Amino acid sequence: MRHFKIPIFFLFSFFFTSTLFAGNSAVENKGINFFNGTWEEVLEEAKKQNKPIFVDAFAVWCGPCKWMDSNVFPQEEVGDFYNANFINYKYDMEKGKGRDFARKYRVNAYPTFVYIKPNGETVHKTMGAKPPKVLIEEGQRALQIFNASR
């Protein structure tokens, strides 16, 4: 009987720990939800929802990009605003089709935030790491331009 207690203890510990970590992932998801898919799929989704696109144009080695990922994008107030108003997309400018995107939208510094209409036309663009309040203000500016052009 003693031999069964040890595996049961470890099994219980595993389920308890995995439940605990699953709960933490839900807490972390209060920020910006970035679309998973190709650029073409992002454009399609934006057309379906009639929303502009927010693109975080980044490079993996970029310190300010990492700072945005850790300190700004996870903020609930930032997520609330961006998730309600944009299709959000992270795009590595140094891999695959990201290079073509960088040329087309003239991305030459990281991070660059590009706000784009569903038809692919640029609405607004800004560069550099920003605190949450400023990033929301940039998004509001882009929305005003987008709404005025409808």
Please give the C-alpha separations between residue 65 and each of 49, 72, 137, in angstroms, as whole numbers: 27, 10, 18
> Which residues are known catalytic residues?
62, 65
Specify the residue for token string 């700004």: 72
Q: Which of 34, 39, 30, 46 is nearest to 78 (CA)?
A: 30
* Neighbour-count burial of 17, counting CB atoms closer than 10 A to its CB (0-12 exposed, 13-18 middle, 19+ buried): exposed
Q: Which residue, 140, 130, 141, is CA-closest to 75?
A: 130
d(CA 113, CA 130): 10
